[in-house]
Amino acid sequence: MGRALVTGATAGIGAGFVEALGARGDDLVLVARDEQRLEELAQRWRSAGREVEVLPADLSDRVGMARVEQRLADSGRPIDVLVNNAGFGLTQSFVGGDLAAEQAMLDVLVTAVLRLTHAAVPGMVERGQGRIINVSSVAGWIPGGTYSAAKAWVTSFTEGLALDLEGTGVRAVAVCPGYTRTEFHDRAGMRMGGVPDWMWQSVDDVVAQALRDVERGRVISVAGPLYRSLGVASRHLPRAVVRRATGRRPAR
């Protein structure tokens, strides 16, 4: 098996990828802000026989981002799977909102994905193998402020990347979850009581579908018939209808 680097590794979908990748035998490089939680997670997988590195980093900070870039570019300890998962959510409106918070969100959701992928891909192409898994969102299909715009960028970026990588042995997939039961909404201060149970999906389903899809060469991964149907509808309905029909809360 190979070595996987996962950002946002200690919670939610990131933790789900760590679970799945560790269970299949991959060694792990765990990236998140909370060093204590990273160490606790690392100890569990070390006990299971995996080689685990802990890399505390805040991806809204260029210094922290650069540390992860350097690790990805280290040819002596190659990374076979990069999971760009680190999340960021805001409850504010863009108009009148805090600009620094908006910029920090874009740094995590867009700039980090761009720079970490750029650091990882050359070595993967040289070795003729590798996987880039970018966690996007169904929110990228609808108008929802900076968050939706950032996720739309992640999906489009991944589609272009996949074209660039054709014939190299390296594959890229954009994972587009819907409402998923994680810490994400609570940490962002979002009230989600109005979302019915049938719209929620599990982390395990999202991760399992993503890992299947990247091996099949699919570029966009959507778990479950509900969100696949919504994806089709969002692409074919008039944009004015989509704007009126959708809210502003991030789904991931």
| Backbone φ/ψ region at 217: left (φ over 0), alpha (ψ -120 to 50), beta | left
The catalytically annotated residue of 17, 45, 147, 157 is 147
Using CB atoms within 10 Å of the CB of residue 216, give its burial: 0 to 12 exposed, 13 to 18 middle, 19+ buried: exposed
Decide if 227 is catalytic: no
Give the span between the Cα atoms of 54 and 36, in whole angstroms.
Answer: 10
CB 109 within 8 A of CB 88: yes
Give the span between the Cα atoms of 244 and 86, in whole angstroms.
Answer: 29
CB 157 within 8 A of CB 134: yes
Phi and psi torsions of 55, nearest 5°: -130, 85
Name the amino acid, one letter, at 28: L
Give the span between the Cα atoms of 247 and 12, in whole angstroms.
Answer: 23
Angle at which helices 99-106 and 145-164 pack, to 10 degrees? 20
Instruction: Read off the tokens for 172.
Output: 């890229």
Instruction: Read off the tokens for 63.
Output: 């210094």
Active site residues: 147
